[in-house]
Amino acid sequence: MAQVVITIKIMPESLEVDLKNIEKEAKDYINKYGEVGRTEREKVAFGLEAINLTFVMDEKKGSTDELEDLIRNIDGVGSVEVTDVRRAIG
């Protein structure tokens, strides 16, 4: 089986949410599935920022549905969306 590179976008509930805490907890969950390679903040609107986490996961692990549910239940998370999935070559 191959490795897949996945990007998850996490939107906070509001401007007052501690993004550092969300990022830390999300990384802790992701590390059970794979390894986080890149973290970016994306300006959305009116000062609101989303967190984009890109990580590598073994394709054998299957869907990210369970991981998305775990992240969705972090305090302050408004929504979670997989924005990109690619098979790693090599």
| pLDDT tens digits, 46-79 | 999 999 999 999 988 889 999 999 999 999 999 9
Best CA proximity match to 44, nearest among 12, 2, 75? 12
d(CA 32, CA 35): 8
Does 22 have pLDDT greater than 90? yes
d(CA 80, CA 78): 7
List the structure tokens of 3.
Answer: 């490795």
Q: Structural domain of residue 56, as residue ranges?
A: 3-87
- What's the mean pLDDT when you consider all of the chain? 94
Per the structure, how many domains does the chain have?
A: 1
Quick check: pTM over 0.75?
A: yes
Q: What is the CATH number of the domain that holds 54?
A: 3.30.70.60
